[in-house]
Amino acid sequence: MQRPWLFPLLAAAMVISWSGGFIGIRFATEGAAVETMLFWRSLASGLILLPFALRGPAIGARAALAQGLLSFLGMFLYLGGFSWAIALRVPTGLVALMADLVPLAIAALAWPMLGQRWTGRQALGTLIGIAGVALTTAPALRLGHAPLYAYALPVLGMVTFGLATVLQKRSPGLGIVQRLCLQCLWAALFFSPFAALGGGLVPPMTFVALGGIAWLVLVATLASWGIYYLCLRLYPPNRVAALIYLSQPLTMVWAHLVFAEPLTLGMIAGLVVTLGGVALVSGQETA
């Protein structure tokens, strides 16, 4: 049955929770090392979902390994890239803006992998989107104090998340809870050596650290990724990816109000240009 009200409702919930992930990791890293936060974010989320995942159909070794690959691309490299960039003090709004190019990566990958045609409109949107990111990055590089390589980490995360999104569409079989549970546990395994060598496997027993973990688990993982998988099951990948860039304006405002991060006219102009490019890429996608 058609439910025209469902997509706007899911879209609003995903935009708010996805934006909260960027703000949450910025807050959490005030109290502990980013590697420790990422490890506990993944481990706690996976353990919470585990009893519910075990109630579903039996999970074979092949399915578990497939979710491991998706976790490496969509959680370890994506979350790691953006989180380490934020921890290195790349402005949070700029990091989230770089995530706006996710729909562009998905559109490019969907052509060879899902048979979706790459149109002239999408190619133009890609060029405009890249120009918008370049326009935004220029003032941020002058305002920020992060090392140069830190600005490449969100780009890596953007590409790998786009690949993971397309692969998700090609890997049916498991339910949403089972997928999310397995990918969180795999991500905890991937992050564990970095946590052990970095901030440690045990987080500080402080309000900031524990509150940050709780926010990352409940809002940035269970809510945002759960809604993301639900949307991906119901709608085409380009349409789902478009929701991610809609969280960007909210993230920039949050970061400016909460952390006093810069919000310049150049960044706003880059945002507008990038959103225009992404709209060109995603606008032709239908459910």
So what's the pLDDT on residue 281?
62
User: Is this structure's pTM higher than 0.85?
Assistant: no
Beta carbons of 200 and 113 less than 8 angstroms apart: no
So what's the pLDDT on residue 286?
44
Considering only the C-alpha atoms of the chain, give the largest distance between any 2 of them, rounded to a whole number of Å: 54
So what's the pLDDT on residue 67?
93
Tens place of pLDDT per residue across the chain (287 aa): 457 778 888 888 988 888 888 788 878 878 888 899 999 999 999 999 999 999 888 888 888 999 999 999 989 998 888 888 888 888 776 776 676 667 666 666 666 555 556 667 767 776 787 777 667 666 655 556 778 888 888 888 888 888 888 787 666 678 889 999 999 999 999 999 999 998 889 988 888 889 989 999 999 899 998 898 888 888 877 677 767 666 766 777 777 887 777 777 777 787 788 777 767 765 554 44
Beta-carbon contacts of residue 123 (< 8 Å; ≥ 6 apart): none
So what's the pLDDT on residue 28?
81
277: closest CA among 150, 98, 115, 154? 98
So what's the pLDDT on residue 41?
93
Compute the distance between CA of residue 107 and CA of residue 278 in angstroms, rounded to an integer. Answer: 10
Compute the distance between CA of residue 89 and CA of residue 146 in angstroms, rounded to an integer. Answer: 5
Compute the distance between CA of residue 251 and CA of residue 247 in angstroms, rounded to an integer. Answer: 6
